Every structure is written in structure tokens, then in C-alpha cells.
């Protein structure tokens, strides 16, 4: 199915390292230098991959939703626990206990086998089935079968807060039997100093209102220093704070005239027209309440299914 533009939320701000940060680029192959350098851009400046930020945010939201009901957020590291696995999962008797994408495609082929509009109808039916079976977090952050609605750019350093210097720290593995340093286990690693700032830019397109509420809760965790980034977190590294400066909200759903006005402003980069552009911060409470309402509807449904199945 083709996408239809409905809404867009643009978020900008600054991410500040409260403690030193280590997002490793892997073990270095250089003959000299740090054993574990941090990720850098082409100019040698520190960089936070958007995937690192997005992954930490997703993990925190998954833990929240699983605390409410395990079926609200699938385990992304175990394919058997995905809401839709690649292959159908069967029990010992060969009975399908969880439909995979292969089974859904097969069902779609059979359903529209003799339909003259087979291609478009099959695509629409399959899309609706996938969305219906996908867990809540994957609807926002994506899955192998659904594109993400939430995009985070790589976070580049703010030049005024970066003085071109990395800190080096030593690490050592401890032998638990002798409670002393293990032989040949001494290493060093790079860290980005505390108080370094990074540019934060994210976009959310065509999200449902409750999905925006889910993201607001997750971003608030970064605003209150609740989600650390990178490695060495047990040592106190990776504490960061997000300061959101702007949230530009455009909602043109079911309003062609508003969409045309929006297109007219794009080339001139004019966001002053309040009939098109709104401050997303004014809607945070409504979005969050929509999430609570959505989850409230989901809980009885899952509880009823669990009881009826003897779970």
C-alpha cells in the first residue's frame, strides 16, 4: 500500500552528557592508541548514532509495556517471541500456535487467487493483518515487516562544548577466584567528557495519537536522566539529559487545503503560519492521555484471552 501523508512532528533539542559517555566503535586495530575508541565522525569528532538513542528509548518503553502485559511488547532478541515471526511456530503435534509472515502471505494468495484486482487487495489485506497482529512498540519503532514511524538522526557534537580532547581510562578484568587482576586483561578505553552537548533531531510521521503519547513518555525519561547511553553504565558512565527546545506539529489529516498550504511553505522554510504549524508541547497531555486510554482498552482484552486459554 502507498503511504499517505497525514501528520508530522519535528523535535529538536540538545542532549548533554551529565557523566562521561562511552559508545564504543569496537576494538581498535591501530598499533597505538586506545584499545576501545569511541565512535567518531569523519572529522574525528564524537558522534552518538541515532540507532543507539532509539534503541535505548525502545528498550525502556518495552519494559514499561511488558510490566502492564507481556503481549504489549514483543522481545526483539528472540524471534519466537515476535508478534509475527518469519515462520509459523508449531507445537509438538504440528499445530500452528503462532502465525508467521509466511502463513499470512499464503492465506492472502489463497483468498484473492481468482480476484482480478488481486495485487492491490492482497496488499491491503496483508497490511491490515500485519498491523492487527503487531505489538504496540513495533507499530512505532518498526519491525521486519513494518517501517518505523520514529526517525532519529545521528547526534552530532555542539562545537562550542567540544574542545577536541577525549579522556582515557584504564580497565581491568578481575579474577573472581583470586580477587585480583586477571593476567593479560588490562585495557584502556576512550570516553567523551561530561558536559559535552549533542544536537538532537527526530521526526515522527503519520503516528496515531496514542503512539505520540508513548513517545512523549519515553522522551521524558531522557529529559529526567532516567535512560543511560553506551557502555560502562555500571561504572556511572552514560548519564545524559535531553532538553527539548522545539516540537513542531503539522496535522493535515483529511484536510487537502491544509496540506496544500503546508507544501507552499516548505521551500521557503516558513513555519510562522499558525494555521499549519502548531507547538507540539501544547498537545503532550492530550497525547499521553490517549495512550492511557488505549492501554486501558488493551488490558481487559489480554486478560480475558489469558483466562479463556487457561493461562
- What is the C-alpha separation between 121 and 100, in angstroms, rounded? 20
Q: Could you tell me the residue ranges of all domains in the chain?
A: 7-30+40-73+148-165+194-308
- 36-45: per-residue pLDDT in tens? 678 889 998 9
Residue the block writes with cell 519491525: 143
Residue the block writes with cell 562550542: 160
Burial category of 70 from C-beta neighbours within 10 Å (exposed 0-12, middle 13-18, buried 19 and up): middle
Q: How confident is residue 231, by pLDDT bands cut at 50, 70 and 90?
A: confident
Nine-digit cell string for 285: 497531555
- Collapse the DSSP code of 164 into the 3-class scheme (helix H, G, I; strand E, B; otherwise coil) and give the result: coil
Burial category of 260 from C-beta neighbours within 10 Å (exposed 0-12, middle 13-18, buried 19 and up): exposed
Longest dimension (CA), the chain: 75
- Collapse the DSSP code of 4 into the 3-class scheme (helix H, G, I; strand E, B; otherwise coil) and give the result: coil
Q: Which of 110, 221, 223, 206 is nearest to 150 (CA)?
A: 206
Average pLDDT over residues 214-226: 97
- Least confident among 151-165, 198-212, 266-280: 266-280
Number of Cα atoms under 13 Å in the Cβ half of residue 64: 18
Nine-digit cell string for 305: 484471552
- Least confident among 54-68, 106-120, 174-188: 174-188
Enumerate the β-bridge partners of residue 205: 8
pTM equals: 0.84
Nine-digit cell string for 41: 565522525
* Contact between 74 and 81 (Cβ < 8 Å): yes
34 pLDDT higher than 90: no
Amino acid at each position: 500500500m502507498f503511504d499517505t501523508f497525514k501528520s508530522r512532528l519535528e523535535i529538536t533539542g540538545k542532549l548533554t552528557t551529565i557523566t562521561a559517555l562511552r559508545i564504543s566503535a569496537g576494538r581498535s586495530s591501530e598499533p597505538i592508541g586506545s584499545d576501545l575508541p569511541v565512535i567518531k565522525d569523519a572529522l574525528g569528532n564524537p558522534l552518538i548514532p541515532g540507532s543507539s538513542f532509539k534503541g535505548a528509548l525502545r528498550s525502556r518503553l518495552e519494559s514499561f509495556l511488558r510490566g502492564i502485559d507481556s503481549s504489549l511488547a514483543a522481545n526483539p532478541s528472540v524471534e519466537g517471541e515476535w508478534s509475527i515471526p518469519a515462520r509459523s511456530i508449531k507445537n509438538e503435534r504440528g499445530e500452528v500456535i503462532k502465525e508467521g509472515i509466511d502463513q499470512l502471505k499464503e492465506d492472502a494468495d489463497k483468498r484473492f487467487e481468482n480476484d482480478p484486482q488481486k495485487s492491490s487487495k492482497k496488499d491491503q489485506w496483508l497490511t491490515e493483518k500485519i498491523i492487527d497482529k503487531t505489538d504496540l512498540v513495533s507499530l512505532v519503532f518498526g519491525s521486519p515487516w513494518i517501517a518505523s514511524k520514529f526517525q532519529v538522526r545521528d547526534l552530532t557534537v555542539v562545537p562550542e562544548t567540544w574542545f577536541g580532547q577525549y579522556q582515557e581510562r584504564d580497565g581491568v578484568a578481575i579474577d573472581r577466584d583470586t580477587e585480583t587482576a586477571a593476567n593479560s586483561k588490562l585495557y584502556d578505553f576512550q570516553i567523551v567528557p561530561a558536559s559535552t552537548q549533542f544536537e538532537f533531531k527526530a521526526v515522527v510521521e503519520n503516528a496515531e495519537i496514542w503512539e505520540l503519547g508513548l513517545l512523549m513518555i519515553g522522551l521524558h525519561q531522557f529529559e529526567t536522566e532516567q535512560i543511560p547511553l553506551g557502555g560502562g553504565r555500571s561504572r556511572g558512565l552514560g548519564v545524559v539529559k535531553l532538553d527539548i527546545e522545539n516540537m513542531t506539529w503539522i496535522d493535515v489529516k483529511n484536510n487537502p487545503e491544509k496540506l496544500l498550504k503546508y507544501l507552499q511553505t516548505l521551500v521557503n522554510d516558513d513555519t510562522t503560519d499558525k494555521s499549519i504549524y502548531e507547538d507540539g508541547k501544547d498537545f503532550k497531555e492530550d497525547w499521553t492521555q490517549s495512550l492511557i486510554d488505549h492501554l486501558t482498552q488493551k488490558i481487559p482484552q489480554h486478560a480475558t484471552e489469558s483466562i479463556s486459554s487457561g493461562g
